[in-house]
């Protein structure tokens, strides 16, 4: 009997579950109507002039602390990619200095800023720089909030086993949570934002607009040109993103118009593109962003198939088909969504030389992802709640982090390094840590809604039952796992010295950061009309007033 006639999908119409997702709020015709003037050459010319002005400021800034603060501002304002050479030269000089001349009342603040910036940029610096301040931690008063806040931010770049930074984090978070925040409006906002999500866990580009407004409120002769450049650069980059968003929106509309089999899935193409922007916002990654947005949209569709739409019999068959690399038009209903040909076409157009040897590798990762989702579907079917360890052993794969990482690795890594052996040897630990964060952030944001629907258990429920604790304590335990995963990422980032890996490492870490944003206040994919909507408007739709 042929596979087509034996398929359990051809002659059954079982009752389907529904997640009760709201209709898509981003209509294609409205996205296509977006226009901007920032494609005009005059804006690029003006940006180049402002860039030269900032370079001059960079050269004229000799004081060490002022130089560090300038580098910090450049990064926060989304301009790091425009001044990579200047920043590297400055940090190379700073890290080689025997005496950093960080003295005076700003000692702790300056040292914490120095430490954070160097680790953020991949320099191996020791926590021992804080040894002189250990006894002063407990002596610090709420009046020194600026230093306490900077130390809190620096502590999030700790490696596993760095007890000094662990103590610093506990101390500073306690102080920041307990003090009266009527200091001044700017510092109060910074403290609240840091406690909600530290800088190291934030998507830099998502935060740029807020940072521009913060810096604008304290504008002076030194950073006036910097702020003007940041605002203009934001609008220029946004114009590029709008054009790409229109392309991927048309792609999804054309695809759904050509088949009814995708009608069950959430239309979240805008959110998919927003995720891709968070991974790599720079204009030169346009092809990668469009490709990644399609991959993320496919992940959402497949996730809906396994979580909501498919019966267990269908899912087992579908997983077998994917595992055998059978992609045929004869598959109906949920199976027909597996349009891997589109992703493969993009892969070929991205780099024909590497496409052939990457194809089976890509299919294998998709198959592993589907297999992990099937395991969760079986747990749901059997009303089985695994231990937390068993859940995480499968959950890092079901997070889709491996699929996202592989596609990023293939696209942004030079061809010489695009090899499965190289991938497994050099970045597998990083992929595991980022995938784990995606899984656990997802659980933190969606577990309540999934529990109400009766979906498969999350890490929170698994730990609640295993340890017999409340949901609050379970969430705290999951957060500790996330913190430890970040420590692993920090260590892996510092030791990954080959230049060839830097673009991928950056994308991988940004993927973990996007997960924090998407699921910070709930399900950013399932519910569109909250923080995700505001981010789309501010980042992709509304330009800054110059």
Give ∠ CA 156-158-163 in degrees, rounded to 5: 115
Tokens of 222: 């030194």
Q: What's the whole-number mean pLDDT along residues 367-387?
A: 94
CA separation (Å) from 424 to 409, 418, 506? Answer: 11, 11, 17
**147-187 pLDDT, tens digit each:** 999 999 999 999 999 999 999 999 899 889 887 665 566 77
Q: How confident is the model at residue 357 (pLDDT cuts 50, 70, 90)?
A: low
Among 207, 230, 227, residue whose Cα is nearest residue 217: 227
**Cα–Cα distance between 317 and 335 in angstroms, integer?**
9
All residues at 6 or more sequence positions from 221 whose CB lies less than 8 Å from its CB, including other chains: none
Domains of the chain: 41-229 (1.50.10.130), 259-541 (1.10.600.10)
- Give the range with max mean pLDDT: 91-100, 115-124, 348-357, 449-458: 115-124
Helix and strand numbers (H, E) in the chain are: 25, 0
Q: Do 119 and 156 form a contact (C-beta atoms < 8 A)?
A: no
Q: Where are the beta strands (DSSP E) in 88-128?
A: none
Instruction: Provide Rg for the chain, Cα atoms.
Output: 24
**Cα–Cα distance between 85 and 79 in angstroms, integer?**
12
**Cα–Cα distance between 342 and 322 in angstroms, integer?**
15
Q: What's the whole-number mean pLDDT along residues 218-231?
A: 81
Tokens of 421: 């052996």
Q: What is the dihedral of CA 92, 97, 103, 107, to 10 degrees?
A: 40
Q: How confident is the model at residue 140 (pLDDT cuts 50, 70, 90)?
A: low
**How high is the pLDDT of residue 494?**
77
| Model confidence at 335: pLDDT above 50 | no
The values of phi and psi at residue 226, to 5°, are -65, -45
3-state secondary structure string across 472-531: HHHHHHHHHHHHHHHHHHHHHHHHCCCHHHHHHHHHHHHHHHHHHHHHCCCCCCCCCCCH
Q: How confident is the model at residue 316 (pLDDT cuts 50, 70, 90)?
A: very high
Q: How confident is the model at residue 16 (pLDDT cuts 50, 70, 90)?
A: low
Among 528, 481, 466, 533, residue whose Cα is nearest residue 22: 528
| Model confidence at 361: pLDDT above 90 | no
Q: Count CA within 13 A, CB hemisphere, residue 452.
A: 6
- Give the range with max mean pLDDT: 141-145, 230-234, 322-326, 366-370: 230-234
**Cα–Cα distance between 267 and 301 in angstroms, integer?**
9
**How high is the pLDDT of residue 529?**
62
Measured N-to-C along each axis, helices 224-257 and 64-76 cross at an angle, to the nearest 10 degrees, of: 20
Give percent of the chain with pLDDT exceeding 90: 55
CA separation (Å) from 491 to 158, 338, 430, 433? Answer: 8, 37, 9, 11
**How high is the pLDDT of residue 499?**
77
**Lowest-confidence region among 33-42, 320-329, 344-353, 387-396:** 344-353
**How high is the pLDDT of residue 453?**
62
**254-296 pLDDT, tens digit each:** 888 776 667 777 788 999 999 999 999 999 999 999 999 999 9
**Lowest-confidence region among 101-110, 210-219, 345-354, 459-468:** 345-354
pTM summary value: 0.90
Residue 454's region, left for phi above 0, alpha for psi from -120 to 50, else beta, is left
Q: What is the mean pLDDT of the chain?
A: 84
């Amino acid at each position: 009997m042929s596979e087509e006639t034996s398929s359990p999908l051809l002659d059954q119409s079982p009752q389907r579950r529904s997640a009760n997702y709201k209709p898509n709020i981003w209509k294609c015709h409205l996205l296509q109507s977006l226009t901007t003037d920032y494609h005009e050459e005059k804006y690029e010319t003006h940006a180049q002039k402002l860039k030269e002005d900032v370079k001059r400021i960079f050269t004229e800034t000799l004081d060490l602390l002022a130089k560090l603060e300038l580098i910090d501002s450049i990064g926060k304002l989304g301009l790091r990619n425009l001044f990579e050479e200047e920043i590297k030269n400055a940090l190379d000089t700073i890290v080689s200095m025997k005496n950093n001349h960080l003295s005076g009342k700003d000692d702790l603040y300056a040292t914490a800023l120095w430490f954070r910036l160097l680790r953020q940029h991949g320099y191996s610096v020791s926590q021992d720089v804080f040894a002189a301040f250990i006894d002063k931690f407990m002596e610090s008063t709420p009046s020194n909030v600026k230093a306490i806040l900077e130390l809190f931010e620096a502590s999030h770049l700790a490696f596993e086993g760095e007890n000094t930074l662990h103590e610093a984090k506990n101390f500073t978070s306690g102080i920041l949570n307990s003090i009266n925040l009527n200091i001044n409006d700017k510092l109060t906002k910074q403290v609240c934002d840091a406690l909600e999500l530290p800088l190291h866990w934030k998507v830099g580009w998502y935060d740029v607009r807020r940072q521009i407004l913060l810096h604008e409120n304290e504008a002076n002769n030194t950073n006036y040109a910097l702020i003007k450049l940041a605002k203009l650069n934001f609008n220029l980059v946004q114009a590029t993103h709008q054009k790409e968003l229109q392309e991927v929106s048309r792609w999804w509309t054309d695809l759904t118009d050509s088949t009814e089999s995708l009608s069950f899935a959430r239309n979240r193409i805008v959110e998919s593109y927003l995720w891709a922007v968070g991974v790599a916002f720079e204009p030169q990654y346009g092809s990668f962003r469009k490709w990644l947005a399609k991959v993320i949209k496919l992940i959402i569709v497949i996730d809906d198939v396994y979580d909501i739409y498919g019966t267990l019999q269908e899912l087992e068959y579908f997983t077998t088909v994917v595992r055998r690399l059978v992609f045929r038009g004869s598959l109906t209903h949920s199976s027909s969504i597996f349009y891997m040909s589109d992703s493969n076409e993009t892969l070929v157009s991205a780099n024909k030389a590497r496409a052939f040897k990457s194809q089976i590798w890509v299919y294998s990762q998709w198959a592993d992802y589907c297999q992990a989702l099937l395991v969760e579907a079986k747990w749901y079917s059997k009303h089985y709640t695994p231990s937390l360890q068993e859940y995480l052993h499968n959950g890092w794969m079901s997070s889709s982090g491996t699929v996202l990482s592989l596609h990023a690795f293939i696209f942004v890594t030079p061809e010489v390094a695009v090899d499965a052996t190289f991938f497994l040897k050099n970045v597998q630990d990083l992929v595991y840590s980022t995938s784990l964060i995606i899984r656990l952030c997802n659980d933190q944001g969606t577990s309540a809604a999934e529990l109400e629907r009766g979906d498969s258990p999350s890490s929170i429920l698994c730990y609640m039952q295993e340890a017999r604790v409340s949901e609050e304590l379970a969430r705290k335990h999951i957060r500790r796992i996330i913190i430890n995963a970040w420590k692993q990422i920090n260590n892996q980032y510092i030791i990954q010295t080959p230049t060839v890996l830097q673009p991928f490492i950056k994308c991988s870490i940004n993927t973990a950061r996007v997960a924090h944003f998407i699921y910070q206040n709930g399900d950013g994919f399932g519910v569109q009309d909250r923080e995700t909507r505001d981010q789309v408007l501010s980042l992709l739709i509304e330009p800054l007033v110059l």
